[in-house]
Amino acid sequence: MALDGLVVRSIAHELNTKLVGGKIDRVHQPENDEILLYVRNNRENFKVVLSSSSSNPRVYIANKYNKENPLKAPMFCMLLRKHLQGGIITDITQVGFERIIKISIESYDELKDKSTKNIYVEIMGRHSNIILTHDKDSTIIDSIKRVPPSVSRARQILPAMTYELPPAQDKIDPVKGCSLKSFINTLREFDGSVFKGIYSKFLGISPTVAKEICYRAEIDFNVKAEDLSRDDLSQLYRTFSDIFTKVKNNEFSPCIVVNEKVDKVVDFNCIDLTFYEGFKFIHDESISKIVALMLAILDNGEEYVFSKVGMEPTGDPFNSITKLETSREKKPYNPLINAGAIAVSSMIKGKDARDKFERLLDFFKKISEDETLDVNYKIYCGESETENRNRAMGYFLKGEGIIEGNVEDALDIYFKQCSIEVTAKTLAKIGLFLANNGKLSTGETVITPKIATIVKTLMVTCGMYDSSGEFAVRAGIPSKSGVGGGILSVVPGKMGIGVYGPSLDKKGNSIAGVALLEDLSTELNLTIF
């Protein structure tokens, strides 16, 4: 499993989306080679881990982090606190297509002058490092691992020296583009198998991605390029170009490959690894709130449900607590934000939490016509252990009488429903169900046309978080977005649409998904207005 250039680019893009504009509240160094940044942005708290471990270097946002800090902070940690604590993250980028992430922070020095510092996280095996520099002249302030001449004559990393990138590799950058002629000549000049040629001659590509390119092009991994026809090489080039066009546009599809027989992660990447046949694939995606809403109305009636939950958009982020406290009625503005969905979960009928969720899952399977749906329990455990904001909402709603039963039962149902694994096809089938006013493909009516209308109306007004109004104008398709990157859309009387694109905008909607739906609406005249 390799943290290659593709994965590093996807990480940098995600961090940029979530953290730019955020304030660094605290800096810790729990390990000799690991930094933990506490970042506050858009009313959310993030734990950002920077690791220069020789065996497992990485950069990620931690859902759960339990390492204890030493009683006395190391010198590098104290230095980072001096320069970065209280600073604002202004940019996060990948350097070239290398395994290097650059984090820029604007802060005030001792003289109250504003300046920018850069953190370079070099993810390069035993050469991994975390380096702090001045942005103005690239002078190194210090690094988590100092590299004197006795360690490396080629490249030293020491205070007061000028930061220079590692020596450039004699490889082609696939993001910058490569012509068909250059691609073919490069591979034919390589003395070895075609997949080895791909990862040896092109920057940022791991053997895993090279195999995936060959597999999609229906080319044998081990054949030499010189033994392939021009048509075969052209097909390989088209596959190669298609993948890197999406990478260039920050269109990623993060996946984890699991061997269920031994319950072991086999591989991961930011693109689908389709050459792993017979293995389970995990995509972090769930759109469930509208399904729970339909069942809650069936169980309790429209009047009861909307006495507890409103029908209006909030204009605030989907996980905001502010409107709960400030609204006159002290109830969630609509059922498609987190607070509203938790309230709806409490209305599902059943003898206990397990029975209630089983009813919800069975309903999910029925309207999607997919009996294979189930909970990803790893995601569920992460949700239930770390979602303190949602738990706070639940207890607030209990205190206001919105939740009448056991609040932990409601939260458990909510966390599980958010962990149901679905595909774009699943979303499309649910969309078709709503497009047909609550009828299955068999003709069976599951919900009334009125309930279907309520759901579709709420999707228009509230389904795309606080971009719902703009999306309604541009696309005019009732839709529900999820922060996993999926969008469920309904074209009444015609079709359901399911799209997936993991890169999100600042409001939590899939960038590629929104663009695709807007284009489809224009080309096929799908707007309901």
* Domain annotation for the chain: domains and CATH numbers: 5-143 (2.30.310.10), 180-248 (1.10.8.50), 253-282 (no CATH), 289-524 (3.40.710.10)
pLDDT on residue 336: 79
pLDDT at 330 over 90: no
pLDDT on residue 122: 96
**Residue, of 469 and 106, whose pLDDT is higher:** 106
Q: What is the mean pLDDT of residues 179-205?
A: 94
pLDDT at 285 over 50: no
Q: Which of 420-424, 471-475, 497-501 has the lowest mean pLDDT?
A: 420-424
The backbone torsions φ and ψ at residue 137, rounded to the nearest 5 degrees and listed phi first, read -125, 10
**Residue, of 29 and 42, whose pLDDT is higher:** 29
pLDDT on residue 2: 67
pLDDT band at 383; cut points 50, 70, 90: low
Q: What is the mean pLDDT of residues 170-186?
A: 93
Q: Which of 78-87, 251-260, 372-381 has the lowest mean pLDDT?
A: 372-381
- The 3-state DSSP class for residue 205 equals coil
Q: Among 253, 414, 416, 490, which one carries the catalytic annotation?
A: 414
CA nearest 46: which of 86, 27, 18? 18
d(CA 133, CA 525): 53
Task: Quote the tokens at residue 455.
Answer: 């759901």
Q: Catalytic site residue 483?
A: yes
Q: Among 289, 323, 429, 439, which one carries the catalytic annotation?
A: 289
What's the per-residue H, E or C state across 238-293?
A: HHHHHHHHHHHCCCCCCEEEEECCCCEEEEEECCCCCCCCCCEEECCCCCCHHHHH
Q: What is the mean pLDDT of residues 466-484?
A: 88
- The 3-state DSSP class for residue 317 equals coil
Contact 292, 344 (CB under 8 A): yes
pLDDT at 423 over 60: yes
Q: What is the mean pLDDT of residues 379-403?
A: 75
Give start and end residues of each alpha helix (H) in 387-497: 388-399, 407-417, 424-435, 449-462, 468-474
Residues 6+ apart with CB under 8 A from 213: 195, 198, 236, 239, 240, 243
Q: Catalytic site residue 276?
A: no
* Strand pairing report for 114-122 and 129-134: antiparallel
Q: Among 51, 52, 206, 286, which one carries the catalytic annotation?
A: 286
What is this structure's pTM? 0.57
Highest mean pLDDT among 60-69, 115-124, 262-271, 392-401: 115-124
Q: Across the chain, what does the average pLDDT equal?
A: 87
- How many CA atoms does the CB half-sphere of 167 hold within 13 Å? 8
- One-letter amino acid at 468 equals S
Q: What is the mean pLDDT of residues 174-183?
A: 92
pLDDT at 65 over 80: no
Q: What is the mean pLDDT of residues 269-296?
A: 74
pLDDT on residue 315: 61
pLDDT on residue 372: 82
Q: What is the mean pLDDT of residues 512-522?
A: 93
Q: How many CB atoms lie within 10 A of CB 217?
A: 19
pLDDT on residue 89: 97
Q: Among 209, 460, 483, 490, which one carries the catalytic annotation?
A: 483
pLDDT band at 396; cut points 50, 70, 90: confident
Sheet holding 486-491, edge to edge: 479-481, 486-491, 495-500
Highest mean pLDDT among 81-95, 263-277, 453-467: 81-95
Highest mean pLDDT among 295-304, 305-314, 390-399, 512-521: 512-521
Give start and end residues of each alpha helix (H) in 60-193: 75-84, 180-188
d(CA 96, CA 171): 12
Q: Among 215, 237, 333, 465, which one carries the catalytic annotation?
A: 465
pLDDT at 381 over 80: no
pLDDT on residue 321: 65
pLDDT on residue 339: 84
pLDDT on residue 100: 96
pLDDT at 342 over 60: yes
Highest mean pLDDT among 104-118, 128-142, 504-518: 128-142
pLDDT at 286 over 50: no
- One-letter amino acid at 326 equals T
pLDDT at 301 over 80: yes
Contact 4, 204 (CB under 8 A): yes
